[in-house]
Amino acid sequence: MSSVPSPRVVGERRWVNASFGFLAWIVGLVFFFPVFWMVLNSFKSEQDANTSPKLFFHPTLDRYKDVTKSVGGLLSFSEAFTNSMVVVLVSVAIVMLLAVPAAYALAVRPIHKWRDVLFFFISTKFLPVVASILPIWILARNFGLLNTRLALIILYVAINLPLAIWMLRSFFVEIPRELIEAAEIDGAGLRGQLTSVILPIAAPGLAATALLCVIFAWNEYFYAVQLNPVQGATVPIWVTTEISTRGQFLAKLSAASVLACIPVVLAGWIAQKRMIRGLALGAIK
């Protein structure tokens, strides 16, 4: 994206660019401030966090120790992280297994009405989750899936599959037709074409798609809190347990928030260029 040269860098306008750049820096820093402050608070003592904002203090890792040690009977850090890891990785693996062939059927050798099918997939994202939560809750209860990881795995497949298909399709469409045809002439079936041509070429796109799915699954709260409030609880629920009605909690909450966010924020920063395209296309979330 950023490789497109900006046309406006010309001598007399240099000061205009410089001032735009300066403004961009200010805007960026102000906009980022809440995140910066959260990270800073996570290294403070509760006393330092719960006074008028201070920039200088004795940094400590104690809040991280507080939030990660497990207390009997309460949802522990390691438990929530294990649940989240299992739910996210399994659901994204299923999503990719289903989405790759589907994207093939919509992009490489498109079925007759491929556009309608594509729109059906995206239209499922337009269905508000509130409209399906009651039947899902009833079904989960009747099948004994309340408070199990399986319930969330199934639902996160439903959340991410349309997005994955849309993104993968856009990557598959760009693969040179001749390469696929050559593989076909060599007698490669769907599997052969996928493993020998399509997947190697689209690998970066595949990774970006999977990563975006990981982000949405990792951050999901609504289904998690409705279906798994007790057992199988995931990281977003664990974060909310750090709020207490008694005593001060801001520093601890900040430390828990940093831990909860850091995996996907780092991944997102690293892969931003490739993900941006999936987001920009509009198939957001």
Positions 149 through 188 that interact with other proteins (CB under 8 A): 154-155, 157-158, 161-162, 165
What mask, x for binding other proteins by CB under 8 A, covers residues 33 to 52?
xxx-xx--x-------xxxx
Tell me 253's DSSP state.
H
Min separation Cβ 20 and other proteins, Å: 5
Radius of gyration of the chain from its Cα atoms, rounded to whole angstroms: 23
Site size toward other proteins, by CB under 8 A: 109
Site for other proteins in 199-238 (CB under 8 A): 215, 218-219, 221-222, 225-226, 235-236
Count CB-CB contacts under 10 A for residue 234. 31
Nearer to other proteins, 72 or 173 (CB): 173
Q: Which of 88, 250, 255, 274 binds other proteins (CB under 8 A)?
A: 250
Count CB-CB contacts under 10 A for residue 154. 19
CB burial readout 53-72, b (16+ within 10 A) else e: eeeeeeeeeebbebbeeeee
Tell me 180's DSSP state.
H
User: Does residue 265 belong to the site contacting other proteins (CB under 8 A)?
Assistant: yes
State the Cα–Cα distance between residues 123 and 165, nearest whole angstrom. 13
What mask, x for binding other proteins by CB under 8 A, covers residues 85 to 104?
-------------xx-xx-x
State the Cα–Cα distance between residues 102 and 186, nearest whole angstrom. 23
Min separation Cβ 281 and other proteins, Å: 8
User: Does residue 142 belong to the site contacting other proteins (CB under 8 A)?
Assistant: no
